[in-house]
Amino acid sequence: MMKQATASQIRVVTLKINDRDVTAREDETILQVARENGIRIPSLCYVEGLSVWGACRLCMVEFAGDHRLVAACSTRAAEGMEVLTHTDRLRRYRRMIVELLFAERNHVCAVCVSNGRCELQNLATECGVDHVRVPYRTAVYHVDASHDWFRVDHNRCVLCTRCVRVCDEIEGAHTWDLMGRGMNCQVITDLHKPWGESKSCTGCGKCVQLCPTGALVRHGTSAGEMERDADFLPYLSRMRHAE
């Protein structure tokens, strides 16, 4: 997690994003500064108000005259930076990342409860993904519908860990966690018990509200019906930091 500076230590820095001069507090990330200035950088795992995970790499940006790529969500703005957010190379990489996410699990949009309201689907449109150039893995993943109100479909999980972080950092329950590595990685509840048997789950549904795809959904929703409302997060995270 990124270390917070105290108010008296924070300086203002000036940098360029796509040749435009912008100012920022030095404790802000490039992604935050870009958003404040209306510059869109694609992102998936980042959610304002939760800790930075930096896993999806969709927010990669580059610096003028430097071949290295950095994640905008986990890189602080600094004096004199010249950030580029939409070079040809970044567009190619982002498109490939989205394609790999589609190929890894079974995102069949037409029959998904989040069809039309899915962040992965929106990213595919934004990145120009009209087909996937790598073979689909077509591995079968489990659907756990044991909870009274919600279900988790691992076929549609992108491992962004928003559910893990909001459950731990905002709800304080830490019901969700990660198990396994690489393509065997999956989110689990209570040391890999069925969600319905979880002793720690409060049933608050914050994880469901923050899920970007059709992985965590309410029972009783069918294709295209799952609506989410993440408005609670800025308020709760502000209150938490005010304690």
Shortest gap between Cβ of 135 and ligand FES (angstroms)? 25
Shortest gap between Cβ of 72 and ligand FES (angstroms)? 6
User: Using CB under 6 A as the criterion, which residues of the chain lie in contact with ligand FES when the complex forms?
Assistant: 43-46, 54-59, 71, 73
Closest to ligand FES by CB, 11 or 92: 92
Is the backbone of residue 184 left (phi > 0), alpha (psi -120 to 50) or beta? alpha
Q: How far apart are CA 184 and CA 21, in angstroms?
A: 44
Q: How far apart are CA 206 and CA 166, in angstroms?
A: 7
Closest to ligand FES by CB, 69 or 223: 69
Closest to ligand FES by CB, 46 or 102: 46
DSSP output for 40-104: ----SS--TTS-----S-TTEEEETT---EEEGGGSB--TT-EEES--HHHHHHHHHHHHHHHHH
Q: What angle do CA 47, 40, 162 make, to 5 degrees?
A: 15
Closest to ligand FES by CB, 95 or 151: 95
Shortest gap between Cβ of 178 and ligand FES (angstroms)? 15
Shortest gap between Cβ of 179 and ligand FES (angstroms)? 20
Q: How far apart are CA 211 and CA 201, in angstroms?
A: 16
As beta bridge partners, residue 150 has 218
Closest to ligand FES by CB, 58 or 152: 58
In what order do the strands lie in the sheet containing 143-144? 143-144, 150-153, 216-218
H or E stretch at 30: helix 30-36
Closest to ligand FES by CB, 77 or 113: 77
Shortest gap between Cβ of 225 and ligand FES (angstroms)? 27
Cβ neighbour number for residue 172 with a 10 Å cutoff: 11
Shortest gap between Cβ of 10 and ligand FES (angstroms)? 22
Return the structure tokens found at 149: 């109100």
